[in-house]
Each structure stands twice: as C-alpha cells, then as structure tokens.
Structure 1
Amino acid sequence: MRQLASTLLAVLLLAACASTNQAERQRQEALNRWESLVRWSEFHALPDMIHPDWLAENPIPDLDLRRLEQFQVTQYRVRSVLTDPDGQGLERTVEIRLYHKHSAYERVIEHREVWRYDEDRERWLLHSGLPDPRPG
C-alpha cells in the first residue's frame, strides 16, 4: 500500500511538472515571437499578439503603425521582468533602439509590456500597447 501511494505521488508530481513546463514553454514562445517581430520591424503583425479585449478598449490607430514603420529597430533589450506569483502574468520593461529611416537619427525608448495567460484562448497575450517612438 505504501509503495502504491509513493508511485501515485510520483506520477502526480511528474504531471504537475509537465504542465508547468508546457506553460513556461508557451510563455517563452510568445515572448520570443513578440521580440522577433519587434526586432525585424514587423510592426503590422504586433496587434495579433495583443488581447482582443484590450484592443477593444484601446484601439490602435493606423497612424501609430505608420509612425512605427518609419523606424528600423537596431536593438531590443529586456531590462527587467516581474512575474506574478501565480505564474499567470508578467511585466517586462524593455529598451528599444530605433533608427529613423528618413532622417537618420536614432531614438532610444523604454517600453513596458504586460503579459497574461488567457485560459479561454490557451495562449499568452499582451495587455499593453505598441512601442511609442514619439519623444517624451
């Protein structure tokens, strides 16, 4: 009986670890995809990674996307990461270096990303806006 209980406990622990690893993998994949899209200046694809409810409350004007498209990203650096204790959310502060294609100047901006896991959609989605290249 004792051995059966030990085996059952081990199986339950392995299952919990597997689901935790899968959630962490999904989170890292979403963060990597976002970072890749930003690094390659694929700004038109970024709204697909933003939560639809957030977008409904904060629509992204076409002007904001056109403004970003005037820049080429030269660096994307994660400065800090704060994770929710329940593992269902995180906040990242990133530094983005942007090169303006028409005037040849570089701008450095700080961008705050708020990520949450959406259980209904079974994926990580951003709950904050696009990087803003405007000064100040």
Structure 2
Amino acid sequence: MRSPPHVSASARAVLLLCVLLVVTACASARGRGDALQRVQYAYSAAIRWGDFEGAWNMVEPEYREKHPMTEVQLERYRQIQVSHYRDLSAQAGEDTAVREIDIGVINRHTMAERSLRYQEAWRYDADSRAWVLTSGLPDFWRGE
C-alpha cells in the first residue's frame, strides 16, 4: 500500500517510530503482567504449602535487611498451617500492584482455625527485572 503523496518521508518515519514505541510498550507491560502473575502464584503456593523461607526470599532485599527474620519468628511460622489462600481483589499498575488476600490459618498445637485478611504490595524492580514483595510476610499473630 502506498502512502498518500502529501505525507513526507520524515512524517512517515516519525509515525512508524511512534507505532513501534507503542507496540514495544504494550509488549513490555504484558510481559511484566505475566511475570507478576507468575511470581504471585509462586508466592501464594509457598505460603499455602508452609514454605515461609521460600516466600521470604520473594520479599524485596531492602525490606529483609530492615526486618531480618529471626529463628524465633521462623519457628512461629512452622507452628501454623494455611488452610486457604484466596484473592479478594487485585489492582496493578505498570510498576506496582496490590492484592487483598483472605488466608485461613490453623494452629498446629490447638487445631483452632481462623481467617484473616492480608494486603500484599508488589513493586517491579527494574534493576533485577523482577517483581518483589514490599509488604513482608503475613502477620498471623498481629502483635500477639
């Protein structure tokens, strides 16, 4: 297909560049969205299966450095079992995402079950080209 005669070669080049930028941005956003879904699935699986050390590795390094996990805290996580992990809502932008989660928790010693809500906050780290959790692991004890 030929361009109309009144469109200059430089205008066509600018138009083509704009189209390429839009396509690239869409592909990049789609790729980040897919990566976010993959990491959120892996994180929720780690929580559901009680792999809190694995889930801890998905927390952003700055958070882990400021809030180091002690052996006592890790032992508390070993005393519970997650019975359900349900997404209630999700919002995602280009570099951030938030998910509201309903988690069922069973105390292994008392076999008492309760449910709590937890909000995950995610950030895309351009340096590592990966999504990281910025909110830390769920606090199943809320100050107890």
Indicate the TM-score class for this superposition, using the shorter chain for normalisation. Answer: 0.7 to 0.9
1:114 partnered with 2:121? yes
1:81 partnered with 2:90? yes
Q: How far 1:72 moved relative to its partner?
A: 1.3
Partner of 2:141, secondary structure, is coil
Letter in 2 for 1:94: I
Give aligned-pair identity as a percent.
30
Letter in 2 for 1:47: W
Q: How far 1:12 moved relative to its partner?
A: 3.9
Q: TM-score, normalised by structure 1?
A: 0.85
> Deviation string for 1:23-63 (max 9, x for gaps)?
11111111111111111111121111011111111222222
- Taking the TM superposition and a 5 Å limit, the aligned residue runs for 1:91-102 are 91-102=98-109
Number of the residue aligned with 1:59? 68
Partner of 1:2, secondary structure, is coil
- For structure 2, which runs of at least 5 residues remain unmatched after alignment? none
- For structure 1, which runs of at least 5 residues remain unmatched after alignment? none
Q: Which has the higher Rg, Structure 1 or Structure 2?
A: 2
94, 103, 126: which one pairs with 2:133?
Answer: 126
**Using the alignment, how far apart are the partners of 1:30 and 1:38 within structure 2?**
12
- Paired residues, what number? 134
**Using the alignment, how far apart are the partners of 2:21 and 2:123 within structure 1?**
26
Q: TM-score, normalised by structure 2?
A: 0.81
1:2 partnered with 2:3? yes
